[in-house]
Chain A
């Protein structure tokens, strides 16, 4: 297959502090007890794509990610880890590795994508239409679980998840308009010439860009070369290509113009660990590892996950939460709507709601957390109560 695959694994995202840190870059952040990057890699592996370039921002993060990949996929994938400077943006990252790209088309996947859409479907659509760019578009996920009065969902109720404004032709094949970021807050402007060409355009605010793109390499490189200010694929490059389609052959080297949109059916699960509240999406079933130990009268509700070797004391209750490996949880602990990563120690009588607790953290007795993030290895002392705070060790 004349496709090169680039996985943009990012670096240490600022949005996810304190969940990510130097030791745990975003790509390795556990989602349902697996590093988020593994979802993409495995999905690619299923499509029989074994040669890929993983782009990581920052040298430290690249070391971590590279180490993890070579350990986990040693015989299975042929992965090249490329390091780019921090804060170059997605477009900058591609620009930096441009010399590696030789194939006719490039599939660019965000490293934090959790999806069951085979990448092959995107590449096939791309080829079928001989498109310049094909973007995968999905419906905006319902925040959190529907029955959850979860705090994560509450923040979002004000604005029921608007990520993009997307215009497509009636057959949903051609992407005609895309607005991201700050443009969402402005009035939507649609070029009349594009509308004239298609006659009808459906504008949807309930779709979003899923960050999986197939690009025509020559066009992509030309755009990256010419527009050296473009930082982000989704905010600069894609809107630019969408805008300039049907316009001139000069700029895009006579390549047949046409952007494809591939819309997923609603039954497919797509989540992205990009936002704090989006973190819970992928927890689906009640999965308890056989080696986990539960004390008496401890209940684990539906939509929960309990990793291997974790121990729970008596009279605990876990609802809609994910608990990682080798955690020690005392008695009378309530965990609701939260994520507890690996090797976390939780003392007796703690109550944890809507929070994320990173690996190696320690919660002493009777700690009450609500809507908090606890960073790597942080120790919450006994009896503390926090609400909506972000707790992390001071950087040394």
Chain B
């Protein structure tokens, strides 16, 4: 065991001073908690407060994670703070977490980190992780026991040093209609070896246009049986060996834990690192990834699935709540709330300390924070109201999130899915349209919907935020009045804040991830769309099969492939042409051009025949572009270019096949893109022969191949008939 650990540690940190193995064996369990999700899904709220400090049933999220880590036997947690790091650190310093026995919380701060990958690289540099560790983000709620998963991980590790990670998964079938899990995450496709539980395939960002999953044939060659799952949910709790950190360091382009790291390991068969899964059945684990999961997890907490992390049990950071039984459901109250007699507080509701509720107000399925003032005749349904919110008489809130310090003037209405960020004021009788996001801060203008740039976007967001906050703090009152002036029509009389325009990229449709339940009409729309899809598929299928295709499915998929490769080859051709033209302009040495084309060839995964074709194409293109007045001049140009660059071309003509490819390419050009060449076909063929670019075998083979072709295809064979004849005779003579 000790030796094993030592090896592991040695692998992880070759440069590290070797430590005493016994010391390592006693290594307490460590955890890395990422207090930044590196996404923008919780904007605009996260512009002002880090996600881990957002209250989840009146307790900042990070407390759930830390409490679970403590209970699960983790001894040391490194909290990695990035965005709003100061707030996180301040919060932790003032909390009880720093003074727990047998549980140390340390913070690592960095501001220029834009992804989980960077964070792990930084932690690796800090040299603080010495053994297996739990990797988790600060927005995870769980009550699972780590013992078994940890045990399995250690045993696997003992047997196979390459088993570097154990992922916790849980059964959860995504809705067939919306194709997302109840937590609002995209459907997940995984392939797992049923015996060893090794993860073999992982596809989370479901590309809906692709109707099939493609399993590499090698997978099946190695494993006689594989289970494909669509009914599992990734809990984003990972037990990692220290190698994981060094892997991140080695592969500096790994950013995202799943998209890059997991997929990278699965695809990389050189190092042979393996990822395993551990499925939990009766315990709870979920990550709050978007507004919908915020809603669902809150409800799960209220409904006590996450016991012991529930409102009426005191764990770090929450105040004791009293539980009242209402019918068959629970409602949690704090003492000292002022509730009017006529107010109705329904089931599954949590109301915070010091909140006042006026008469005839109805509250159900909601969480209300501390110190809120709720007027009379207010309707609150399925909403999350944070602290110190003032809701005046007659407001209506359905399925919304209302942050700290919001003021809703009398009669204001929030439609489902609305998110009001900090200190927004909604004017009297103003109706906020569904799914709007309202913030005091303006929407960042650079709004890149591209997933890849999310990280960059995020970092810029934080920087921007600090500056905006500065001004906002300095001139708070002033700015409020100003902006209320400017935006009066937007949020009603006396309203303060900006309504963010819904990101028009629309690739994440708002309703999918909002707190509001998915509206009925969307569901019907989707299921109809689904039927349509299937009908389409069927029609395709019949169309295909009537046209005489044998196996329509494989053909269809092949079609996809062909299209892909066609696209690729077009790009490849363009790249080669650009390279070649640049070489001509800048007088680059032939050897260098060959190198460049070779690298293109590798990156596009092309054959040398493709290269030959593309190079030849570029040469002829150049010839035609060179100014010329007559056909003979063009021929001369062509001859010159061929002479100058023959070395380049020849380096791809390894076999006769490539030469034939060139002839075919030339033929194609003459027919399509460069008709000017068509009268010169035979002559240029002769030039190519003279320059030893084409051997007579290739030309004769080409002619033979064309023998059986259509008349229209034979135009050029005809044209060069004499030449071919001559070649044939010459070869016969030689014989």
Residues of chain A at the chain B interface (Cβ within 8 Å): 162, 165, 167, 170, 183-193, 195-206, 226-227, 229-230, 236, 239-240, 243-244, 247-248, 250-251
Given contacts A189-B212, A205-B224, A248-B538, contact A199 B229 (CB under 8 A): yes
Q: List 9 A-B contacts (CB under 8 A).
A: A183-B554, A189-B557, A192-B189, A198-B230, A200-B227, A226-B542, A227-B545, A247-B538, A250-B535
Please, how many angstroms separate the alpha-carbon atoms of A240 and B554 in the complex? Answer: 10
Cβ of B26 < 8 Å from any Cβ of A? no
- Check if A248 sits within 8 Å of B535, measured CB to CB: yes
- What are the residues of chain A within 8 A of B550 when measuring CB–CB? 229-230, 236
Interface residues of B in 524-569 (CB under 8 A from A): 534-535, 537-538, 541-542, 545, 548-554, 557
Please, how many angstroms separate the alpha-carbon atoms of A371 and B214 in the complex? Answer: 40
- What are the residues of chain B within 8 A of A195 when measuring CB–CB? 189, 213, 228, 230
- Check if A203 sits within 8 Å of B230, measured CB to CB: no
Please, how many angstroms separate the alpha-carbon atoms of A200 and B214 in the complex? Answer: 16
User: Does more than half of chain B's interface fall in helix, strand or loop, or is it mixed?
Assistant: mixed
- Check if B215 sits within 8 Å of A251, measured CB to CB: no
B158-184 near A? 1/0 per residue, CB < 8 Å:
000000000000000110100100000
- Check if B227 sits within 8 Å of A201, measured CB to CB: yes
- Check if A199 sits within 8 Å of B230, measured CB to CB: yes
- What are the residues of chain B within 8 A of A165 when measuring CB–CB? 220
- Check if A190 sits within 8 Å of B228, measured CB to CB: yes
Minimum C-beta distance from A236 to chain B (A): 7
- Check if A188 sits within 8 Å of B215, measured CB to CB: yes
Task: Give the residue of B179, B224, B534, B552 whose beta carbon is less than 8 angstroms from that of A204.
Answer: B224
Summed over the interface, the residue pairs from A and B with CB atoms below 8 Å come to a total of 115
- Check if B217 sits within 8 Å of A202, measured CB to CB: no
- Check if A189 sits within 8 Å of B228, measured CB to CB: no
Please, how many angstroms separate the alpha-carbon atoms of A240 and B545 in the complex? Answer: 11
Cβ of B216 < 8 Å from any Cβ of A? yes
Residues of chain B at the chain A interface (Cβ within 8 Å): 173-174, 176, 179, 187, 189, 191, 194, 206, 210-217, 219-221, 223-231, 534-535, 537-538, 541-542, 545, 548-554, 557
Task: Give the residue of A199, A201, A243, A248 whose beta carbon is less than 8 angstroms from that of B534.
Answer: A248
- Check if A196 sits within 8 Å of B228, measured CB to CB: no
User: Does more than half of chain A's interface fall in helix, strand or loop, or is it mixed?
Assistant: mixed
- Check if B230 sits within 8 Å of A196, measured CB to CB: yes
- What are the residues of chain B within 8 A of A185 when measuring CB–CB? 217
- Chain A's closest residue to B208 (CB) is A192
- Check if B187 sits within 8 Å of A200, measured CB to CB: no
- Check if B538 sits within 8 Å of A190, measured CB to CB: no
Minimum C-beta distance from B669 to chain A (A): 33
- What are the residues of chain A within 8 A of B535 when measuring CB–CB? 248, 250
Given contacts A188-B220, A226-B545, A251-B542, contact A205 B213 (CB under 8 A): no
- Check if B538 sits within 8 Å of A250, measured CB to CB: yes
Given contacts A196-B174, A229-B550, contact A201 B217 (CB under 8 A): no
Minimum C-beta distance from B193 to chain A (A): 10
Please, how many angstroms separate the alpha-carbon atoms of A201 and B213 in the complex? Answer: 12
Given contacts A229-B548, A229-B550, A248-B534, contact A192 B224 (CB under 8 A): no
Task: Give the residue of A192, A200, A243, A251 whose beta carbon is less than 8 angstroms from that of B229.
Answer: A200
- What are the residues of chain A within 8 A of B223 when measuring CB–CB? 205
Please, how many angstroms separate the alpha-carbon atoms of A227 and B547 in the complex? Answer: 10
- What are the residues of chain B within 8 A of A167 when measuring CB–CB? 228
7 shortest interchain CB distances as A-B pairs: A199-B231, A206-B224, A189-B212, A188-B215, A201-B228, A203-B226, A248-B538
- Check if B213 sits within 8 Å of A202, measured CB to CB: no
Task: Give the residue of B179, B211, B215, B552 whose beta carbon is less than 8 angstroms from that of A203.
Answer: B215
Please, how many angstroms separate the alpha-carbon atoms of A189 and B228 in the complex? Answer: 12
- What are the residues of chain B within 8 A of A198 when measuring CB–CB? 230
Please, how many angstroms separate the alpha-carbon atoms of A186 and B219 in the complex? Answer: 11
Which of A162, A185, A199 has the most chain B CB atoms inside 10 A of its CB?
A: A199
- What are the residues of chain B within 8 A of A206 when measuring CB–CB? 224-225
- What are the residues of chain B within 8 A of A162 when measuring CB–CB? 221
Minimum C-beta distance from B395 to chain A (A): 41
- What are the residues of chain A within 8 A of B173 when measuring CB–CB? 199
Minimum C-beta distance from B317 to chain A (A): 38
Please, how many angstroms separate the alpha-carbon atoms of A53 and B550 in the complex? Answer: 28
- What are the residues of chain A within 8 A of B220 when measuring CB–CB? 165, 188, 203, 205
- Other than the known A190-B213, A200-B227, A206-B225, what 18 A-B pairs have Cβ atoms closer than 8 Å? A170-B227, A183-B554, A189-B212, A193-B534, A195-B230, A196-B179, A196-B187, A199-B173, A199-B230, A201-B227, A203-B215, A203-B220, A205-B224, A229-B549, A239-B551, A244-B538, A248-B534, A250-B535
